Amino acid sequence: MSILTEEYTLSNGVKIPKIGFGTWLVEDDKVVEPVKNAIEMGYRHIDTAQAYENERGVGQGIRDSGIAREDIFVTTKLAAEIKSYDEAVKAINESLEKAGLDYFDLMIIHSPQPWSDFRNGEHFYEGNLEAWRAMEEAYNDGKIRAIGVSNFEQKDLENILENGTVEPMVNQVLAHVSNTPFDLIEFCQKHDILVEAYSPVAHGEILDNKEIKELAEKYNVSPAQLSIRYCLQLGLLPLPKSENPDHIRSNAELDFEISAEDLNKMKQMERIKDYGSSNVFPVFEKGI
């Protein structure tokens, strides 16, 4: 059975494919083909965001794929800077309009802080509750089938869990071999919040890791495949991203099992020290 046909079940009963196709840094006019390619290869879960400025192209790629809308799981993210109810309501409706969709399968708050304040100490508790209220409303109105968050630490999640009326179903975080937030994952899983792993290959920086390369050879797979499989075996939902059709295909060819011993070894690998050119992005800069 292909991983592309397997699903997790969210806390509200909605099914979500176990692997997603990421579209970060793919421009709006260039994202249509990769989305179509991914769907053609069997992907049924596409991840975009307001901040990516490619919702229109993603929506077009989905329509052009020829696959029924209800058979594709589409995620978008509320911009990190939006911390008021009115702005959030407006942005949710604008995203639907841009993508040309009647509903999103999942919408998540992109970050507890605006990117310019990412992990600087302020948690924006009130602003996140305002944005969450707008998402709860859209969820109750059927505009969104599931709602969640991204980059939320335990304190940020507790704020929503204690004060919201709908519990977050997903927390999308930076998680990969050599930088896996085990305590946060455990907290989420305890509260029935599915953890999605973005940058499961550390934005490419993990692929030259000597230990990863040696382990990948042992399983006769690529370092990328090993890294993505690692996330799955931790119960996470990986979101690999590529514009290369060969990589799009191979990222989902994960029909192998990492042994308990090797998985343990991977869990204890020395923490990544440098994300190279990606250090300019707050999630990587503050993730070190």
- State the total domains in the chain: 1
d(CA 225, CA 260): 17
Interior CA angle at 187 toward 185 and 193, to 5°? 75
Residue 271 has what DSSP assignment?
A: P
Confidence of residue 284 (pLDDT cuts 50, 70, 90): low
**CATH code: domain of residue 71:** 3.20.20.100
The CA radius of gyration of the chain, in Å to the nearest whole number, is: 18
> What percent of the chain is modeled with pLDDT above 70?
96
Determine if residue 256 is left, alpha or beta; phi over 0 gives left, psi from -120 to 50 gives alpha, anything else beta.
beta
Provide the pLDDT for residue 288: 42
- Digit-coded pLDDT (tens) for 65-87: 999 999 999 999 999 999 999 99
d(CA 69, CA 214): 41
Cβ atoms of residues 58 and 46 within 8 Å: yes
Provide the pLDDT for residue 51: 95
37: containing domain: 3-285
Cβ atoms of residues 31 and 248 within 8 Å: no
Q: What does the block give as tokens for 80?
A: 């990190």
> What percent of the chain is modeled with pLDDT above 90?
83
Please name which of 191, 218, 211 lies closest in space to residue 267, comparing C-alpha atoms. Answer: 211
Residue 104 has what DSSP assignment?
A: B
Confidence of residue 180 (pLDDT cuts 50, 70, 90): very high
Average pLDDT across the chain, whole number: 93
- Digit-coded pLDDT (tens) for 185-229: 999 999 999 999 999 988 788 888 899 999 999 999 999 999 999
Cβ atoms of residues 129 and 116 within 8 Å: no
Provide the pLDDT for residue 1: 56
52 labelled catalytic: yes
Annotate 149-199 with DSSP letters as a single string: EES--HHHHHHHHHH-SS---EEEEE-BTTB--HHHHHHHHHTT-EEEEES
Q: Which residue has the tokens 């991204």?
A: 150
Provide the pLDDT for residue 287: 56
Cβ atoms of residues 16 and 8 within 8 Å: yes
Provide the pLDDT for residue 2: 82
Selecting among 52, 139, 198, 275, the annotated active-site residue is 52
Cβ atoms of residues 248 and 37 within 8 Å: yes
0.85 surpassed by pTM:
yes
